[in-house]
Structure 1
Amino acid sequence: MTSSSKPLSTSIAIPQALPTLAGKVAIISGSCSGIGAAIAIELSSRGCNVVINYPSPSLQPQAVALSNSLITRAITVCADISSIEGPQTLVNEAVKEFGKVDILVNNAAIAINLPLEEQTMEHWDSLVNLNGRGTFLLTQAVLPHLSRKESRIVNIDSISSRAAPALQTIYAGTKGMVDSFTRCWAKELPPKYGCTVNAVSPGPTMTEGFAAAGEPFMKMMQPVLDQTPVGPRMAKPDEIAFAVGFLCEPRASWINGLNLTASGGLFID
């Protein structure tokens, strides 16, 4: 018997060179700056058409500049996700332009760092209405329009939801809501809508907001950053965006209910 020089056949699929999300449509709330903008760039680089959301008319030039920089089709939509009407407005404009939604990234959020005694009902309303209710309403609004084929919902959580840092009572609480939403929806929604539901939990990330906090704040943060195993620094927004992109890939179809922590090991659950 002679051995054959022909290679053994394999059933492993070889990734194609074509953009993996070509033809997909993604809504990213709060996406004209920071992590949201980085997610828009990441998904566009994978071939995805993008709906960029900004909350007020003053941010339109920033949103349009981002849209013009992308390599795929993109539209910009002014919609305040903390309002009752904003989430539905965002979805309506997306569907009007593209006819469907394949990916929803619930990114819009704000934070406040104050002692418990100094946190007010105004803080409560602004954080709960955007971080919690906004995520809830936007997800509800998008469900009838999901493509039902390899569709994805990705919630931007935070390590604060589980690490429970001081000075973040309301913020950590709202991100705890997002964490629980992810777990509930990962069980409830896939059988009905053919989607997966996951979360990405960033640690401290160098966004415009952090940069504007100034040098004194950064000095205060440094002891925390020094505890990060991968390196004593903040994350870059594109590092968080890559985690989101991974969960949106067609080949991530068996990943559901995951809270993917992207903190350089600062928090390990």
Structure 2
Amino acid sequence: MLIGSTETAGQTLQGKVAVVSGSSSGIGAEIGRELASRGAHVVLNYPFLSLGEAADKLAAGFVTDSIAVEADMSTTDGPKRLVDAAVKQFGKIDILVNNAALAVNKPFEEQTLDDWDLLVNLNGRGTFLLTQNTLAHLPKQGSRIVNIVSISAREAPAMQTIYAGSKGMVDSFTKVWAKELPPKYGCTVNAVSPGPTMTEGFAQAGEAFMAEMRPVIEKTPVGSRLGSTAEIAYAVAFLCEPRASWINGAHLMANGGLYID
């Protein structure tokens, strides 16, 4: 169902169509909100029917006509379902943000094949398939692909073997696609790497988890705090702007300098 109101004239992304995977809450929801505020029609995404009401409500609050689509990015057919719904409603995709991901934090010895399948299928294969299905629907010029990676892909923290590895896969995807895809599809391909960010998940993690994270957070040069979802969304939106057309293959660290490459 189409939800929301019409665009405001003069916005920098007016008339663009943006697909944001894993966007019913957290960083993905804020990315959707930021892109909509700049005039884009946003296709939000949620993996389970139980999240549909909240996702529809979120989209209804945007200033542009936007929709929310149920599609599980960890399945082999979920990415195509999301793309098909976006194209059916809006006819094209100008911006793709590969955001859907999960993390598992366990000692290496305790990580299992179920953990492997969960993270690699969503974080790696989901990004692969969603991008692949989107390519045919990109305009001939001016489109954007932004992959949400993580400082874990390069900082390599303990207890994140599979998560860091799966995000490293997306890091490498970005480099390869930035060379291969622009000549054929007229797009740019970039990445944003958040550090610890205050999402619903962080807020519900409890005092013990936050106590464990405190030493990491205190090392952040810009400030001893978690990042905000709005700060990550701004970095993504910057890469989606028309004036960012010469930025390709960049890996933007949006983490207050906690990790500097």
The normalised TM-score by structure 2 is 0.96
Q: Which residue of 2 aligns with 1:18?
A: 10
Residues 101-250 of structure 1 aligned to structure 2 (within 5 Å): 101-250=93-242
By how many angstroms is 1:216 displaced?
1.1
Q: Which residue of 2 aligns with 1:68?
A: 60
SS at the partner of 1:147? coil
By how many angstroms is 1:143 displaced?
0.2
Q: Which residue of 2 aligns with 1:6?
A: none
Which consecutive unaligned segments of at least 5 residues does structure 1 have?
Answer: 1-16
By how many angstroms is 1:148 displaced?
2.1
Residues 29-44 of structure 1 aligned to structure 2 (within 5 Å): 29-44=21-36
SS at the partner of 2:197? coil
Q: State the distance in 2 between where 1:265 and 1:116 align.
A: 27
Q: Which residue of 2 aligns with 1:82?
A: 74
SS at the partner of 1:264? coil
| Amino acid across the alignment from 1:77 | V
Q: State the distance in 1 between where 2:140 and 2:20 align.
A: 18
Aligned residues: 253
Q: Whose radius of gyration is greater, 1 or 2?
A: 1
Q: State the distance in 2 between where 1:221 and 1:118 align.
A: 20
Q: State the distance in 1 between where 2:113 and 2:103 align.
A: 14
Q: State the distance in 2 between where 1:265 and 1:236 align.
A: 14
- Deviation per residue, 1:172-227 (Å, 9 max, x gap): 00000000000000000000000000000000001111111111111110110000
Q: State the distance in 1 between where 2:54 and 2:105 align.
A: 26
By how many angstroms is 1:147 displaced?
1.2
Q: State the distance in 2 between where 1:252 and 1:23 align.
A: 17
Q: State the distance in 2 between where 1:163 and 1:223 align.
A: 15
Q: State the distance in 1 between where 2:54 and 2:151 align.
A: 28
Root-mean-square deviation (Å): 0.7
Which consecutive unaligned segments of at least 5 residues does structure 2 have?
Answer: 1-8
Identity, % of aligned positions: 68
Q: Which residue of 2 aligns with 1:95?
A: 87
Runs of 4+ with >2 A deviation: none
| Amino acid across the alignment from 2:50 | S
Q: State the distance in 2 between where 1:147 and 1:70 align.
A: 24
Moved more, 95-104 or 143-152: 143-152
SS at the partner of 1:196? strand
